[in-house]
Structure 1
Amino acid sequence: MTERPQAVFAMAAENVPLLFPPELLTRLRACVDIDPALVARDLTEPRLREALARAEILITGWGCPRLDAAALDAVPKLRAVLHAAGSVKGFTTAEVWRRGIVVSSAAAANALPVAEYTLAMILLTGKDVFAFRRLLRTRRDFPYGDVIPGIGNHGRRVGVVGASRVGRRLIELLRPYDLAVTLTDPYVDAAEAVRLGVPLLPLDELLRTSDVVTLHAPATPETRHLIGARELALMPTGAVLVNTARGTLVDHDALAEELRTGRLAAVLDVTDPEPLPADSPLFDLPNAFITPHLAGSQGNEVSRLGRTVVEEAGRLSAGDGLLYAVDPTALDRLA
């Protein structure tokens, strides 16, 4: 039997059992030699020296240490990082790539719950559910069964900003519905848009022609405040802005001003800053629906991230290529 490669967990210790419940942990330990009781938050800790000196694989997750030169010097045999979460931008450094260490991410697995959340919000806002819930609280004699004009999801226009993993997964989830979906993304050409099955529009045109604008672009210097006062003004009256990507994509001061007019509505699972200050006007505006960054993997969804890492560990142990290896040249375009 081939000797299993040595691995060490590097994350917040409380996340290990969430990501790797017993059945998954058993599968992981069949692929790699790992001690579930030894979890690193700081790779320079003396108690970790012996295990890290042997480790070929780090299994990271939320709360993992930054992999700078000092940290990597503690893991001289390291050849792979398997990340049981989404973005790797927060903890990888140029030193990781310079040393030829391969990095895998469970971002594709995490994209599904975000896309599901977004789909749910698109359909719920199409029925104006949140407004009618508020109305029913104050008007208990609301006429049940009446046909309400001006709402519904038949033919509703949905503009997707960003063909990221989440954006692409959302486009797939939207296909069975009678919705008109369009896309804007500077890195997608006409041929790729055809493969995705959606018309490709410039951002301004998408904003002007969408009943729902849903954001799935990465946070970069170029996308900071991608949606500001000018862009919000382009959206038609009654439109909804959904953000499950990064809070910095939206100018929140401009959004609050626009929402105060009652012309638009917004669903925000991410904000800037995060969390919002307690006195943010967005909390009290009736047309702002805010959730605490929960669109991504939660509860029983978290183990899906662990399963992705187990499968990657199996490929690595078998000498196969990783399915979800991160391309460092594309990091600036990833969330």
Structure 2
Amino acid sequence: MSTPMPRPRTLLAMGRDTASRIVDDDVRARLDRVADVVPGIVADDFSRPETAAALGETEVLLTGWGCAPLDATVIDRAPRLRAIVHTAGSVKPFVTDACWDRGISVSSAAWANALPVAEYTVAAVLMSNKRMLHFRDALRAQRARTDWYEGYSDVGNYRRTIGVIGASRIGRRVIELLRPYDLTVRLYDPYLPADEADALGVRAVGLDELCATSDVVSVHAPELPTTRRMLDRRRLALMRDGATLINTARGSLIDTKALVEELVTGRLHAVLDVTDPDPLTPDSPLFDLPNVLLTPHIAGSMGTEMRRMADSAVDELARYAAGLPFAHPVLRDELDRAA
């Protein structure tokens, strides 16, 4: 008779709204099979007495959006803590040096959150090259069929050049999803060895060349001091007339004022799921420009896609309980270049 797998004492540490979206009844049933979850507590504030008491017996933190920082004070209250399993992407907002110094293992569902972002991006690439927003508005205005082929020789996806900024999880997935199409993909990533670009089937180029030669530029770089406003006024001016800029990464990577100036002229198009500032001020021209598709940070997991992240986290908990290494570990020395 086999010995039952031990169930590590696990505390949910996330915003209460996040918990209600991530841990539905099905996920909770799976979770209870692999973990001994502290009942009745969602730790959105580690200073509460009931949370502090629960920390003392916790071996694994199951974290999510809204998790408070795990600083030295919190870590000192959790002498049995051995692992953090994150149900979302970046752990930077709450995993501190105190966690790494303790030797706590960290896992993230960033791979799962990357998938819908890449899918959104590919849809935006294909839609942008077909000028769907333009034709929608023209059809609404004219209310009649006309010769849509006249004057639109530059519309379409055949042999277009797509510039991907950043060989991140999302950037690599975008490249993979674009392979079936008759597109040329160029990549900028200063940390990527040339042989890896070859393996991805793309041509590595400098950022200026990518901006100047791409019909669509898609941003997938992390938010770092060195990437702030990497697409500045000069680089935006390098972009081809009629080119599209897609940003699903962070708004701070683009000089918003310079981008607005370009978009107001109609020279460029943009698909923006993130902005700087975020949220925009109500009087921002980005809300009303016909050459801008503005969405409220929906490219990442939402709705049914939240379940993929939850399933990933439960799978990681099961691996931990079985004494196996995480399938999706977060490593301290990689965080400097991660989103």
After TM superposition, the score normalised by the length of structure 2 is 0.96
The amino acid across from 1:141 in the alignment is A
> 1:20-41: CA deviations, max 9, x gaps?
3222221211111004531101
217, 222, 245: which one pairs with 2:221? 217
106, 126, 129: which one pairs with 1:126? 129
Deviation at 1:245, TM superposition (A): 0.4
Q: Does 1:259 align with 2:291?
A: no
SS of residue paired to 2:311: helix
Structure 2: stretches of 5+ with no match in the other structure: none
Q: Does 1:292 align with 2:296?
A: yes
Deviation at 1:49, TM superposition (A): 3.2
The amino acid across from 1:51 in the alignment is A
Deviation at 1:80, TM superposition (A): 0.6
Map of 1:310 onto structure 2: 314
Deviation at 1:150, TM superposition (A): 1.6
Map of 1:27 onto structure 2: 30
SS of residue paired to 1:131: helix
Q: Does 1:112 align with 2:109?
A: no
Alignment partners' CA distance in 1, 2:40 and 2:200:
44
Map of 2:177 onto structure 1: 173
Q: How many aligned positions are there?
A: 335
**Contact 1:43 1:74 (C-alpha < 8 Å) held by counterparts:** no
SS of residue paired to 1:54: coil
Matches within 5 A, 1:182-331: 182-331=186-335
Q: Percent identical across equivalent pairs?
A: 52
The amino acid across from 1:273 in the alignment is P
> 1:275-296: CA deviations, max 9, x gaps?
1111112212221211000000
Question: Which range is displaced more, 215-224 or 276-285?
Answer: 276-285
37, 42, 58: which one pairs with 2:40? 37
Alignment partners' CA distance in 2, 1:241 and 1:145:
24
**Contact 1:9 1:36 (C-alpha < 8 Å) held by counterparts:** no
49, 52, 67: which one pairs with 2:52? 49
Q: Does 1:13 align with 2:16?
A: yes
**Contact 1:11 1:61 (C-alpha < 8 Å) held by counterparts:** yes
Alignment partners' CA distance in 2, 1:23 and 1:144:
52
Alignment partners' CA distance in 1, 2:75 and 2:147:
64
> 1:190-222: CA deviations, max 9, x gaps?
100011111111111111110000000000010
After TM superposition, the score normalised by the length of structure 1 is 0.97
Alignment partners' CA distance in 1, 2:13 and 2:228:
31
> 1:164-212: CA deviations, max 9, x gaps?
0100011111011111111110011110001111111111111111000
Alignment partners' CA distance in 2, 1:182 and 1:118:
15
Alignment partners' CA distance in 2, 1:5 and 1:262:
57
Q: Does 1:154 align with 2:153?
A: no
SS of residue paired to 1:34: strand
The amino acid across from 2:50 in the alignment is R
**Contact 2:38 2:54 (C-alpha < 8 Å) held by counterparts:** no
Output the aligned Cα RMSD: 1.3
